[in-house]
A and B are shown apart, each in its own frame.
Chain A
Amino acid sequence: ETGVTQSPTHLIKTRGQQVTLRCSSQSGHNTVSWYQQALGQGPQFIFQYYREEENGRGNFPPRFSGLQFPNYSSELNVNALELDDSALYLCASSYGTGQYSPLHFGNGTRLTVT
């Protein structure tokens, strides 16, 4: 069974730039959720994708956008980067959108904005 994989592992960007993070879901999983985790805090929900459509969004501005592809992999795009966007970005996959499907996280992408 292949777990959730994310790329890249680390990324350094300059304020105002754009970034794309990628995620491959665990085999058998069709739903992908993205989280942002600032240092010393719990992860915060950004959005979830199911059947290539956004299915729920947290309190993040529109410059955070995403995609899901037919093979269930997903991208997180962040435009006009701000210093506060520096965080660990986590992708999690699950089967379906029900509340009884535990999330399994990838290793994350550490984004630093300077």
Chain B
Amino acid sequence: QKEVEQNSGPLSVPEGAIASLNCTYSDRGSQSFFWYRQYSGKSPELIMFIYSNGDKEDGRFTAQLNKASQYVSLLIRDSQPSDSATYLCAVNMIANQGGKLIFGQGTELSVKP
């Protein structure tokens, strides 16, 4: 079992719709969770981070964390073609090594005009 799993996609949604990206992780003791966006040929860009159970909203983005079920999700409201990218879920599993993130393989999102 992979430590961090994501559906590879591609996930295709029409412009204006809600895109839902999901991620599960194996280490129940994990405390911090991150979503990165990566355009083709570019480096990952931090979108959201979440540490507590529940929802965290930032503009059109909402991160959701459920530690009991060991999943974290990212919702993108009013999806735009510019949101088309690969979305990487990352989890920190070691308390004093915050730089050691375990990444999923990413979900490719395509927003159709």
Q: Which residues from chain A sit less than 8 Å from chain B, CB to CB?
A: 31-33, 40-45, 48, 50, 55-56, 58, 88, 90, 92, 94, 96-108
Contact = CB atoms under 8 A, between A and B. Distances in A.
Nearest to A110: B41
A41 to B, nearest CB: 6
B46 A102 contact: yes
A99 B31 contact: yes
A98 B98 contact: yes
17 contacts: A31-B98, A33-B101, A42-B88, A42-B103, A44-B103, A48-B97, A50-B99, A56-B99, A90-B43, A97-B98, A98-B95, A100-B31, A100-B51, A102-B46, A103-B98, A104-B46, A105-B43
Interface string B43-78: 111100101000000000000000000000000000
B101 A103 contact: yes
A62 to B, nearest CB: 18
Interface in B1-59: 4, 31-32, 34, 36, 42-46, 49, 51
Given A56-B94, A97-B99, A108 B31 contact: no
Interface of B: 4, 31-32, 34, 36, 42-46, 49, 51, 88, 90, 92, 94-106
A43 B42 CA distance: 12
Q: Which 6 residue pairs across A and B have the least CB separation, nearest first?
A: A42-B103, A33-B99, A48-B99, A56-B97, A99-B92, A99-B98
A53 to B, nearest CB: 13
A103 B105 contact: no
Given A102-B46, A105-B45, A107-B43, A96 B98 contact: yes
